[in-house]
Amino acid sequence: MIHLYFGDGKGKTTAAVGLATRALGNGFPVIFVQFLKGRLSGEIESLSKLGAVIFRGKSGEKFFSKMNDDEKSQTKKISVQNFEDAISLAQKNQKSLLVFDEVCAAVNYGVLPKTLVESFLKNAPKELEIVLTGRNPPLSFVEISDYVSEIKKIKHPFDEGIPARRGVEY
C-alpha cells in the first residue's frame, strides 16, 4: 500500500522513520530515499545502524531554490539516479518498505519528473509498502495513496526565529 504524510507541520519524516523502524524491527528490509536533504541527521544514522539501505544527496548544502543552475542540474541527476536505484533494489526484494522522503518537494521543484513517480506508483509491486512525504503533494499522489495523513502546523518555534535543533528537527 501507499502512505502519504504531507502538510506544513513537523513530523512527516518522523512518521516515515517510525514506520521504517517498525518494519526493520519485524525483519522487513527498508529502503529510505531522501530528496533535497544533505545535512547529517540523527534519523539517517539510526536507520543505517538498524540495517536500512539509504539513498540521499544533493549538490552542496544550499536549499534548492538558492542553488545555481549547475548545482540544480547535479541535484536533479543525483535524485533521478537515487530514485531509479531504490526502485531497482525494491523490485528485487518486493516485500519491503520503500520511503521517498520529500518526494513532493522534489516533484514540485522539478527535481524528479512527476510522470516518473506516478508511473512507478501505479505499477509498483503489490507486496511493496511505499511511503511518500512532503508539502503540497500533487493531487495524483493523494488519489493514488491508500493512507493519507495531513500534518498541520499550529505553532512552531521556527516562526519565532528559533533555528532547527539537532536531535529534534534533524
152's CB contacts (< 8 A; 6+ apart) are: 7, 8, 9
pTM over 0.75: yes
Least confident of 16-25, 54-63, 159-168: 54-63
| Ordered structural domains, the chain, with CATH | 2-151 (3.40.50.300)
The string of pLDDT tens digits covering residues 67-81 is 898 989 999 999 999
β 129-134/147-150 pair status: unpaired
Q: Which helix (H) or strand (E) holds 150?
A: strand 147-150
Q: Is the pLDDT of residue 66 over 90?
A: no
